[in-house]
Amino acid sequence: MLDAQERFVASGSLRIWTERVGDPGLPVVLLIAGSAAQGVSWPDALVGRLVERGVAVIRFDHRDTGRSSGVDFDAHPYAIGDMARDCLAVLDGHGLGSAHIAGTSLGGVIAQWLGVHAPDRVRSLTVMSSSPMGHDPSPAWARARAGEPPDPDDLPPPSPAFLAHQAAGLPPGVESDVALFRVFNGPVRPFDEPAARAELELALSRATDPAAAANHHRAVWIDAPDLHAPLSSITAPTSIVHGDRDPVCPLGHGEALAAAIPGAVLHVVPGMGHVMTSPGLPEEVADLVRL
């Protein structure tokens, strides 16, 4: 069991739930979860391995997830940059001038935003299972859904298995999410269904408004000039961690990121999908986080 200190911090009018693990005198890794995901989606095994590597770890609930504040999106729409500023508020709330930043999926896009727009706050950058900031995936998705071949000049579309799950329109709930995580896991590495189910049930039990997390899917489609700043301006030491069986952001997305960020190192994780729901995978990924 991790020895964790919980704290709420302010991001404007919002209250953001945070949890800090490890020696407060050590450098910190800030973990940024993906779309609609709570801070507890980062596995304890990954957090524990990072602590063993000699750092402290902060994970937190995005706005509209878990125990953090909800937002009336229709009245106050927000974009990726606003979610990134929540991350800066977390650092401020813990008295941190900078941290190692690690984000997965949408969290990886937010991490890129921080690397571009808040370079003085970023000691190092680890982008996992993500896609280049500012890339519009809708044309590739539309072609795939229409059964058309991929555009060779675009990044690859999601896998047929992921698109089929989306098209199935399963009712919301833990069972549907477990099925989605099975697709996310991919077909190569074993899927730890009990661990995935426990994570999803925990998230449901601590969510103030489970439906509010869907606002993240609205936020990611809001185009903004700050998303199109060049990734070549990132100066932090950067690692890209990407599975070669990612059904949402196939490996070409990670390769494009590594090519766009100066000096970035690409770590391809064999058999990894879009989540860490396979035994031993959280520790394997933790060892690839740039410190």
Active site residue ranges: 105, 246, 274
Q: Considering Cα of 248, then 252, then 258, then 259, what sign does the dihedral take?
A: negative
**b/e per residue 234-272 (b: at least 16 CB within 10 A):** bebbbbbbbbebbbbbbbbbbbbbbebbeebebbebeeb
CA-to-CA separations, 77 to 71, 73, 106, 224, in angstroms, rounded:
8, 4, 17, 13
SS3 breakdown of the chain: % helix, strand, coil, rounded to 5?
40, 15, 45
Spatial distance between the Cα atoms of 88 and 220, rounded to a whole number of angstroms: 19
> How far apart are the C-alpha atoms of 101 and 31, rounded to whole Å?
6
C-alpha span between 111 and 129 (Å, rounded):
12
Place of tokens 């396979």: 278
CB neighbour list of residue 174: distance below 8 Å, 6 or more residues apart: 197, 200, 201, 204
**Of the candidates 266, 28, 19, 279, the residue with the CA atom closest to the CA atom of residue 130:** 266
